[in-house]
Structure formats: C-alpha cells, structure tokens
Structure 1
Amino acid sequence: MEPINDRNNGNNPLPISFITFIDNENNCYSCGTKYSQTLLFEQKYCKSCLCRYIQKDNDTYLDVYNNGHIY
C-alpha cells in the first residue's frame, strides 16, 4: 500500500530547495542560478526553484501571496 499525500497528513513530498542555509553562498546549489534577496531581511532564495516549487505544489502544501510586483 502506498502512502497518500493530502492536505491532512502534513507530509510534503516536494523538497524545499529554493532557500539557502549558508549565508556566503551566492548561487543556488540545485540549479546554479544566482540567488535573489528579499527586500526586508535580505534573505537569499532562488527565483527559478521557487517558481518550480509553486508550479509542482498545486496549492496542496503551500499558500502563496503575490503582490504582483516584479523586481
């Protein structure tokens, strides 16, 4: 029997690969793209991996608020 992934079991099968935990890294370890930074706390993230994560997630495990601004 295979495990069932739904909203209620809390297990996300997609790895969160769009953030870095190493401050001195400048390129994404997953795809090699240069990290972007948030405006408020200058946290690094990979736009391309984040977009891929949002597309694959299908609104099951991630709530996304987009203010519509592209920087």
Structure 2
Amino acid sequence: MSFFNFRKIFKIGGEKKKKQFEHVKMDVNPEEVWQIIGELGDGAFGKVYKLSQKQNGEKFCYGNLTFIQ
C-alpha cells in the first residue's frame, strides 16, 4: 500500500474541502432577481412555486422544504 492510499483511507492531510457551486450566488437578494408568479403545489413537506427571472423572463420552479424534527 502506498503512502498516498494510506492518507486517503484514513483521511490524513487536513479538512475536506466543501463543494462550492459556480452558479450559486450567496451575496444576492433573491427578491431582486426573481418574481413569484404563483404557487404550483402544496404538500406535507413544503410548497412549490413558479418563478420568473426578472432579467430575461425565463420561467423556473422552486421547491421550499419544511424540516420536521
């Protein structure tokens, strides 16, 4: 077993990097980018909304989950 495999198995070498997605913007207010058109559905764990992007009018859906402890 090589040294590098040993490090990988026992996770030696520091903290694991968290994934950062390029398309997720953390410093933007969603209300400035999206307009809620209406509610598409409602279920036991949340709601689904139809959204329009204010910049170009593209339509999307957004699911909002409610976590129960």
Query: Shared fold by TM > 0.5?
Result: no
TM-score interval for Structure 1 and Structure 2 normalised by the shorter chain: under 0.3
- Please tell me whether Structure 1 or Structure 2 has the larger radius of gyration of its CA atoms: 2
TM-score, reference length from structure 2: 0.24
**Going by fraction, where is strand more abundant, 1 or 2?**
2
TM-score, reference length from structure 1: 0.24
